[in-house]
């Protein structure tokens, strides 16, 4: 994914998350305000009844004016305009709170106009009405002459507890935001590591180009020398050096392409090719490596010309890679049987070796980029895990098919259907 696309995804994700969080906070705040307003109305009604009961007990009249004033979210004062008996007040407060299911601890106090302060505070708990606890000093209220104050210390907690469902969803949203942030962090870290990996591959392959060019020029000079040309053995070696230098240069180019390869983004230069001669040329180039170990590569082809549309460089590299793997992953004298057949109008190329084989659990991963199968006792295997990944990319882009059959200790059979 390109940098601009990643920035756009991150930006849109952040905007979406901020929008969701803002809406959630808005509605949670709205729900809290509604719950608090409803609760305040219930408190007002209960305190109004308490005041009416006190007035009736004293034979007085409350009048029509508003006698309840809320000084803060949890402190209410009630104007009685008459003397107040503390025991009677507590009795009516407890009854009314129970009747309206106001399950809150509360503290009350009565204003004494003689010394201008709140007196006789008592703390009343829900589970034990009437138990005494150290009270909070309640403030006076200048606009009323005879009044009592009620303080609800746990009111905010009570309202919040009634919003449990909303809080649960808010917690889920918070976890989603944290997960999103962590995911973005991991994505950016992986992208940075991928860029470092790509830069390393590019620098490494560019460094290979100069010595490869020198080898190619030297081999061409050898082939032009009369003494080398007259000696069949030296001529053959010089030709192999030239072919391998060209192949190595092609491999460097392939690695450079793979480093920046995106899905279905491999460029192909297709042309009409004769498949048998291409396979024979590849076998000649690797035959010497097999003969050094006492091995061999045998080829059985069709009697007819096998013409296909393919990219010559990429197709040659596929055959080289498969033959090279058969040689590297082998603990005995390497032998490869190559067969070219025709089935249902399609050419089928099979390569069967006597190598170490592949365990069933690794078969699905062998075509992954940079994946290398554990080789057991085979310690001389070198590479970057790009060979079979490259093979699969070329085959997929040509719309061919590849299959694999393998048994540990008996060898591997690769089959390509053109």
What's the confidence (pLDDT) of residue 263?
43
pLDDT beyond 60 at 377: no
pLDDT (average), residues 275-286: 88
* One domain for residues 46 and 117: yes
110-129 pLDDT, tens digit per residue, is 887 767 777 767 888 877 55
* One domain for residues 148 and 204: no
* One domain for residues 285 and 246: no
Compute the distance between CA of residue 196 and CA of residue 178 in angstroms, rounded to an integer. Answer: 27
* One domain for residues 9 and 154: yes
Lowest mean pLDDT among 139-143, 195-199, 276-280, 394-398: 139-143
* One domain for residues 75 and 192: no
The confidence band for 130, taking pLDDT boundaries of 50, 70 and 90, is very low
Q: Residue 350 corresponds to which tokens in the numbers above?
A: 């099979």
Read off φ and ψ for residue 4, nearest 5 degrees: -65, -40
For helices 86-99 and 3-58, the axis angle rounded to 10 degrees is: 130
User: Which of the listed residues 200, 229, 257 is the one where a domain comes to its end?
Assistant: 257
Per-range mean pLDDT, top range of 8-17, 87-96, 366-375: 87-96
Lowest mean pLDDT among 103-107, 245-249, 279-283, 342-346: 245-249
* One domain for residues 109 and 31: yes
String of DSSP letters for 5-42: HHHHHHHHHHHHHHHHHHHHHHHHHHHHHHHHHHHHHH
* One domain for residues 234 and 354: no
Beta bridge partners of 118: 111
pTM: 0.47
Q: How buried is residue 251: exposed, middle or buried, by Cβ count under 10 Å (0-12/13-18/19+)?
A: buried
**CB atoms near residue 212 (< 10 Å):** 19
Share of the chain above pLDDT 70, in %: 86
* One domain for residues 22 and 107: yes
The confidence band for 402, taking pLDDT boundaries of 50, 70 and 90, is very high
333-359 pLDDT, tens digit per residue, is 999 999 999 988 899 999 999 988 888
pLDDT beyond 50 at 131: no
What's the confidence (pLDDT) of residue 7?
75
pLDDT (average), residues 313-317: 86
What's the confidence (pLDDT) of residue 139?
62
Compute the distance between CA of residue 85 and CA of residue 60 in angstroms, rounded to an integer. Answer: 14
* One domain for residues 337 and 208: no
**CB atoms near residue 211 (< 10 Å):** 11
The confidence band for 375, taking pLDDT boundaries of 50, 70 and 90, is low
Could you list the residue range(s) of the whole structural domain that residue 356 is in?
266-417
pLDDT (average), residues 172-201: 79
User: Which of the listed residues 161, 192, 217 is the one where a domain comes to its end?
Assistant: 161
Q: How buried is residue 77: exposed, middle or buried, by Cβ count under 10 Å (0-12/13-18/19+)?
A: buried
What's the confidence (pLDDT) of residue 374?
64
**Number of structural domains, the chain?**
3
* One domain for residues 275 and 412: yes
* One domain for residues 137 and 192: no
E strands, 126-222, are 147-151
What's the confidence (pLDDT) of residue 51?
87
* One domain for residues 173 and 157: no
Mean pLDDT, the chain, whole residue set: 81
Tell the residue number behind the tokens 């006492």, with chain if given: 294
CATH number of domain containing 383: 3.30.565.10
What is residue 126's DSSP assignment?
A: S
76-108 pLDDT, tens digit per residue, is 988 887 778 888 888 888 888 888 888 888 888
What's the confidence (pLDDT) of residue 138?
57
What's the confidence (pLDDT) of residue 352?
93
pLDDT beyond 50 at 213: yes
User: Which of the listed residues 236, 257, 278 is the one where a domain comes to its end?
Assistant: 257
């Amino acid at each position: 994914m390109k940098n601009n696309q990643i920035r756009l995804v991150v930006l849109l994700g952040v905007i979406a998350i901020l929008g969701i969080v803002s809406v959630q906070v808005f509605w949670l705040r709205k729900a809290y305000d509604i719950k608090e307003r409803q609760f305040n109305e219930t408190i007002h009604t209960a305190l109004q009844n308490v005041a009416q009961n006190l007035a009736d007990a004293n034979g007085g009249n409350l009048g029509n004016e508003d006698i309840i004033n809320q000084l803060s979210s949890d402190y209410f004062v009630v104007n009685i305009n008459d003397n107040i008996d503390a025991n009677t007040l507590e009795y009516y407060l407890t009854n009314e709170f129970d009747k309206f299911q106001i399950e809150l601890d509360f503290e009350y106090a009565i204003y004494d106009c003689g010394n201008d302060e709140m007196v006789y505070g008592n703390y009343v708990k829900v589970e034990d009405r009437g138990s005494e606890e150290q009270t909070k000093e309640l403030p006076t209220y200048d606009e009323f002459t005879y009044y009592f104050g009620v303080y609800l210390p746990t009111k905010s907690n009570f309202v919040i507890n009634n919003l449990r469902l909303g809080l649960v969803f808010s917690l889920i949203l918070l976890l989603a935001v944290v997960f999103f942030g962590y995911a973005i962090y991991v994505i950016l870290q992986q992208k940075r590591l991928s860029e470092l990996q790509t830069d390393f591959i590019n620098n490494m392959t560019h460094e290979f180009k100069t010595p490869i060019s020198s080898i190619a020029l030297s081999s061409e000079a050898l082939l032009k020398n009369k003494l080398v040309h007259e000696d069949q053995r030296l001529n053959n070696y010089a030709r192999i050096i030239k072919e391998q230098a060209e192949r190595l240069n092609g491999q460097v180019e392939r690695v450079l392409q793979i480093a920046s390869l995106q899905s279905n983004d491999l460029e192909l230069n297709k042309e009409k090719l004769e498949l048998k001669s291409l396979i024979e040329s590849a076998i000649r180039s690797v035959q010497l490596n097999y003969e050094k170990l006492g091995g061999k590569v045998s080829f059985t082809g069709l009697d007819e010309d096998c013409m296909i549309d393919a990219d010559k460089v990429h197709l040659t590299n596929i055959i080289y890679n498969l033959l090279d793997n058969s040689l590297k992953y082998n603990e005995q004298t390497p032998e490869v049987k190559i067969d070219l057949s025709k089935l249902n109008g399609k050419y089928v190329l099979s390569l069967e070796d006597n190598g170490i084989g592949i365990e069933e659990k690794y078969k699905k991963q062998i075509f992954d980029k940079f994946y290398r199968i554990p080789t057991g006792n085979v310690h001389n295997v070198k590479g970057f895990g790009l060979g079979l990944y490259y093979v699969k990319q070329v085959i997929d882009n040509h719309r061919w098919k590849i299959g694999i059959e393998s048994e540990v200790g008996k060898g591997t059979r690769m089959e390509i259907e053109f």
